[in-house]
Structure 1
Amino acid sequence: MLQNQYKIINARIITPYRIIERGTLIIKGDTITAVSEQDIAAPGAIEIDAKGCYVAPGFIDIHIHGGGGHDFMDGSETAFLKIAETHARYGTTAMVPTTLTSTREELLNTLDIYKQAHRKNLMGAQFLGMHLEGPYFAADQRGAQDARFIRNPDPEEYKAILAHTDIIRRWSAAPELPGAITFGRFLRSKGIIAAIAHTDAIYEEALEAFENGYTLATHLYSCMSGVTRRNAYRYAGVIESAYLIDEMDVEIIADGIHLPAALLQLVYKIKGASKTALITDAMRGAGMPPGESILGNIHTGMKVIVEDGVAKLPDRSAFAGSVATTDRLLRTMVQLAHVPLIEAVQMLTATPAKIMGVADRTGSLIEGKQADVVIFDGEISIQTTMVKGNLVYTK
């Protein structure tokens, strides 16, 4: 079978270091074979005229629950494939499907379906492994997670889950819970990222957690402790801990609603582009019209309202999830938070690739790397998405 060859011309190519004006990108099969300021001969290549648009690495979303009317907890291959296809239209070329708190049976079923869907995912964002969000959370910081299934880390349970499958890449938990430090060490021994999430931990607990495998802060600011008082004394929370621990990575829901401009700017100022990943944390309402929706499993999940560009609890007392797409994250960081385009792109590409341990093959436009490419115009409207050299979306 012949491999497609593409030649992208008239491109403003975003490399890890600069923007090449009127550059040329050559793709053969699933690999980038040349990135140049000059025109390069590529006999037989399919030519794509970028018409002065930006050409960037494909966006990598390391925390996502759904989109296009589907959720990864729906229990079907169709849900996985449709979510991947939906988000590819918005520039996502790789994603880490994320669960919600649930019964063990439902969780194991979701993990099994991932393996089936992964083999059939040809026209959407590629899957990089699963992210388990819960069920080991602080009840008071559960957010929209189902309280019925929140519990402390159980060695019998998590060891059985990890023995069942090898596709778990990260697991979010509250590190102050009994048994959570042992859990973090166990995840680290298996090469799985332990992430701090839905937590009431103070700095001392967060620091111990970092020392024992918890290297990432899940959706910074959302469902986690800040400065708090205990018996009249003030304690730094997880938010402050993420700033104080230089080596800790963070992810933020950069939809412009979960965090206002000032906080987006603060995260960028303190943590920088190399330690901050942009995530959608999107639920099934992403890419769909406003109105009633379901968070989690289509049959047993929580009813929510999608309006004002975000999902809310029915009484509108709190957010219940994001409906962001990755192009929106980039627009928010550039237009609202005034982050330079190259660094905002880094937060959606090279940084999440580094966090997930896949930077050797994707996340930057470098010769020899995987041809995950997105083309967008000056308003950051997606024109073309390529996954592993396959053209999966064109406007």
Structure 2
Amino acid sequence: MSDKKLKIYNGSIITPYRIIKNGTVVITNGMISAIAAGDLDVPGAIAINAEGKYIAPGFIDMHIHGGGGYDFMDGDVNSFLKIAETHVKYGTTAMCPTTLTSELSDLLETLEHYEIAKKQNKSGAQFLGMHLEGPYFSKNQSGAQDPRYMRNPDPDEYKKVLFHAHSIRRWSAAPELKGAYEFGRYLRSLGILPAIAHTDAIYEEVLEAFENGYTLATHFYSAMSGVSRRNAFRYAGAVEAGYLIDEMDVEIIADGIHLPAPLLKLVYKIKGASRTALITDAMRATGMQPGKSILGNIKDGLEVIVEDGVAKLMDRSAFAGSVATADRLVRTMVKSADVPLLEAVQMITATPARILGVADKKGSIQEGKDADLVLFDDNINIAMTIINGEIIYNSASELKKRPLEITA
């Protein structure tokens, strides 16, 4: 059987170290087999003229709840598939489906649906494993999560969950809760990433959590303690801990709303691109028209209103979820936070790949890695998304204006 080859030429290739102008990427049997400046001669390859667009690694979204009118907590396999198909249009080639606090039975059901959906997923972003967000959270920092289900880590419960499912990649919890350190150590023993989230912890508690395996801060700043007073004395919170612990990774909802430009600049200035991952934290309303929506399960989730590019509680007293897409995150970091494109792309490719332990196969354009690629213009408008060497999405609007040349 002959090799299946694809050649993408006349593009600006974003590598881990530089941007190669007028470059060519060659894909053989779903893997990147060559990267070079100029137009390589590749006999038998299907050729795609990138027309000067950027060729970047596929975007990796390590924290996402929904999109296209669906949520991973809806209780069916179809929701998983539709969310993956929605976000591939915005350059996402891989994701960690994320849960919300819920009844244990609902959580176990969601994990079962993930296993089925992963086998059926052919036309959407790949699944890299589940992200369990809760239920071990501080009620004082519940945010849009349902406080009814929040509780301390229960070894009998989480061991049951982990025995039931082998698809969990990461799990977020509040480190100040009783049993949280033991929980973190147990997750690490199984190769699962513990992260701090929805927490009222002070610096000293976060530092001890870090020593017990919590090396990531989930949606940094959001539902997280800052400087506080206790009996007149000031204490640094989880936000300050994220900055002070050099080796701690942070993920941010870089929509320009959850974190405005000055905070995006501050995170970049202190943590840098190598320790900061961009996430959408997207809910079901992502990719839909503004208006009313549901956060969480479609049957009994929280009603919210989407306006001004974000989801809010119905009384508009607080944000209730993100409607960001991956391309928007990169665009915001470049245009609002003044981050160089090379590093903005790193924050949604190489950095999450390293954090999730998949950097040997994903996150950068290098020979031998999976051919997960995205083509976009100067405004980060997605023209094409490629997963494992297959063209999964090709922008219809781009094709009408200036078709990409595909020749045998």
Cα offset, 1:2, TM superposition? 6.4
Letter in 2 for 1:111: L
Cα offset, 1:39, TM superposition? 2.0
Question: 1:91: which partner in 2?
Answer: 91
Q: Does 1:250 align with 2:244?
A: no
SS at match of 2:207: helix
Please list the CA deviations of residues 278-320 of structure 1 after superposition, one character each: whole Å capped at 9, or x if unmatched.
Answer: 0000000111110110000011111000111000000000000
Alignment partners' CA distance in 2, 1:387 and 1:285: 25
Question: 1:151: which partner in 2?
Answer: 151
Q: Is residue 24–residue 36 contact of structure 2 (8 Å, CA) maintained in 1? A: yes
Alignment partners' CA distance in 2, 1:385 and 1:350: 17
SS at match of 1:73: coil
Cα offset, 1:38, TM superposition? 2.8
Alignment partners' CA distance in 2, 1:41 and 1:82: 38
Unpaired runs of at least 5, structure 1: none
Q: Does 1:339 align with 2:339?
A: yes
> TM-score scaled by structure 1?
0.99
Question: 2:400: which partner in 1?
Answer: none
Q: Is residue 310–residue 323 contact of structure 2 (8 Å, CA) maintained in 1? A: yes
Alignment partners' CA distance in 1, 2:43 and 2:375: 22
**How do 1:64-103 and structure 2 match up within 5 A?**
64-103=64-103
Alignment partners' CA distance in 2, 1:308 and 1:69: 18
Question: 2:282: which partner in 1?
Answer: 282
Cα offset, 1:46, TM superposition? 1.3
Letter in 1 for 2:43: P
Question: 1:47: which partner in 2?
Answer: 47
Cα offset, 1:4, TM superposition? 3.7
**How do 1:310-329 and structure 2 match up within 5 A?**
310-329=310-329
**Identical amino acids, percent of aligned pairs:** 69
Alignment partners' CA distance in 2, 1:31 and 1:255: 32
When the two structures are aligned, how many residues end up with a matched partner? 395
Question: 1:293: which partner in 2?
Answer: 293
Q: Does 1:221 align with 2:216?
A: no
Alignment partners' CA distance in 1, 2:5 and 2:376: 21
Q: Does 1:366 align with 2:370?
A: no
**How do 1:104-115 and structure 2 match up within 5 A?**
104-115=104-115
Letter in 1 for 2:142: R
Please list the CA deviations of residues 101-131 of structure 1 after superposition, one character each: whole Å capped at 9, or x if unmatched.
Answer: 0000000000000000000111110000000
Q: Does 1:171 align with 2:171?
A: yes
Cα offset, 1:3, TM superposition? 5.8
Q: Is residue 60–residue 92 contact of structure 2 (8 Å, CA) maintained in 1? A: yes
Q: Is residue 360–residue 369 contact of structure 2 (8 Å, CA) maintained in 1? A: yes
Alignment partners' CA distance in 2, 1:3 and 1:219: 42
Alignment partners' CA distance in 2, 1:230 and 1:388: 53
Q: Does 1:21 align with 2:21?
A: yes
Question: 1:237: which partner in 2?
Answer: 237
Question: 1:309: which partner in 2?
Answer: 309
Q: Stretches of 4+ moved more than 3 A in 1?
A: 1-4
Letter in 2 for 1:158: Y
Q: Does 1:393 align with 2:388?
A: no
Please list the CA deviations of residues 258-293 of structure 1 after superposition, one character each: whole Å capped at 9, or x if unmatched.
Answer: 001000000000000000000000000111110110
Please list the CA deviations of residues 205-260 of structure 1 after superposition, one character each: whole Å capped at 9, or x if unmatched.
Answer: 00000000100000000000000000000000000000000000000000000001
Alignment partners' CA distance in 2, 1:335 and 1:15: 20
Indicate the RMSD between aligned Cα atoms, in angstroms: 0.8
